[in-house]
Amino acid sequence: MIRRTIREWERIAYGSGNAEIPETQADRLAAVARTSTFSGRGGEGVLEHGRKGLRARGVVGVIATPGCQLEILPKIEGGGESGVSDTVLRQRLIHMLAVTYDLPIEAGAMTQLGWQRETVLELLIRLFCAKLTDAVRQGMPRHYLEHEDDLPALRGRLDVTRQFSTFAVSPQKLACRFDALSPDIALNQVMRAAVSKLSRLSGAPDNQRALRELSFVYADVADVPPNALRWDRIVLDRTNRRWRDLLSLARLFLSDRHQQTSAGTIDGHALLFEMNVLFEAYIERTLSRALAGTGFRVASQGGHRSCLYEGETGRFRTRPDLIVRQGERIALIIDTKWKRMTPRIDDPKQGVSQADVYQLMAYGRLYDCPNVVLLYPHHGDLLPDPIRCRYSIAKRGADETLIVATHDLAGTQGDQRASLRQLVVNSLVFGASRVDAVDHEVV
């Protein structure tokens, strides 16, 4: 098995060396990448398939073909950090996934997964297999389901219609209808579908062995295609509460909303995440927890107000990334950007796009919100402390403010919640005064 790891926007050359990838394998990986929902019109939204190598873009995860896995990690650095290892980046990516998708990844489990030996995909599969094995040992959930069968003795109740039509001339059997305890329920069908899909994705021998054992356990459960699974029939109560975490993991593997996990007729699979979307979702979940009990609530991709009206018809509908509300009032709008800001010494604007500034100013006007925030990930090339830079909009000393800020993804979860909570407090309380920076003017 050939395993290679690169980082977003990095290139890997063709070749047979440890830091290269055979061209035939690269062609197969690129073909799988082109089937992704993130591939875009040109088919290179995940991987750029060049003459001399492959180049990753803003999508991370794992692309797998028979005999080869390519892992793409995001550049998640803390303030003042440099030369961060793949192991650390892998840990931080899985932490973001755990927070965003409510995955059952505790600190103790994270230290036992073998970060250096496996890719993100294999680590998540190993965690799923371990938790599912433990759960089935405690007992697979079963429900009473209605069955129909033709038996020599009555069981349950007699199906009179079928008895006197099918067995009218041969009454040696009885048409019975009865309830029987069965494992063939929606929850188990989801678990079997996840095991089946992961059996095709995994390349690690330990994971393959665990998945084969789990396949035998679920042999009596119907093999339902992922797009036909009845998630709505799954009811979690006190009798099966321990399956909640496993259900979150299974949903991550089976859902096509955030990744493409099948390449159709192409022999290969992928587990991919668009970093723009993941960063936004992670900030939304972390900020929601940070503001719990404060009277503020956070909504993502809401608003839906139109920029223009043609008579009574709205045009160009808007969807701000995050809206912070206090009651019915919109208190703050946050737009997340998975981009690397540049140090001020290199660029006075620090790489902030003029289009992004215009977009935030439009949001402030449309939603009657005087405080808007552009939020970027912090990284090692910036000063250690997160950026908090306030700008007055349109004129000096204006009540309307735009704050450019960064968030350090390398901190503990508690530190990150405190940092985001402080950002919101500062943006609201000191909206018309200085906020950790000089007063600028945006025109």
pLDDT of residue 294 exceeding 80: yes
pLDDT of residue 64 exceeding 50: yes
How many C-beta neighbours within 10 Å does residue 99 have?
Answer: 19
Better-scored residue on pLDDT, 20 or 263: 20
What is the pLDDT, as a whole number, of residue 106?
A: 62
Residues 422-443 pLDDT 10s = 999 888 865 444 434 334 444 3
Please report, rounded to a whole number, the percentage of residues in the chain having pLDDT higher than 70. Answer: 91
What is the pLDDT, as a whole number, of residue 280?
A: 94
Say which DSSP state 340 is in: P
What is the pLDDT, as a whole number, of residue 20?
A: 93
What is the pLDDT, as a whole number, of residue 248?
A: 87
What is the pLDDT, as a whole number, of residue 436?
A: 40
User: Mean pLDDT throughout 386-412?
Assistant: 88
User: Mean pLDDT throughout 381-386?
Assistant: 86
Cα(332)–Cα(322) distance, integer angstroms: 8
Segment of 39-43, 120-124, 434-438 carrying the highest mean pLDDT = 120-124
DSSP string over 295-321: TEEEEES----EEEEETTEEEEE---S
Task: Kindly provide the b/e burial profile for residues 274-307, where b requires at least 16 CB atoms within 10 angstroms of the residue's own CB.
Answer: bbbbbbbbbbbbbbbebbeeeebebebebbeeee
Helix (H, G, I), strand (E, B) or coil at 33: helix
**45-59, 159-173, 217-231, 308-322: which range is least confident on average?**
159-173
How many C-beta neighbours within 10 Å does residue 341 have?
Answer: 22
Find how far residue 152's CA is from the centre of its chain. 53
What is the pLDDT, as a whole number, of residue 443?
A: 37
pLDDT of residue 109 exceeding 70: no
DSSP string over 176-242: EEEEEEES-SHHHHHHHHHHHHHHHH---HHHHHHHHHHHHHTTTS----GGG--GGG----TTSGG
What is the pLDDT, as a whole number, of residue 432?
A: 40
Find how far residue 430's CA is from the centre of its chain. 34
* pTM of this structure: 0.81
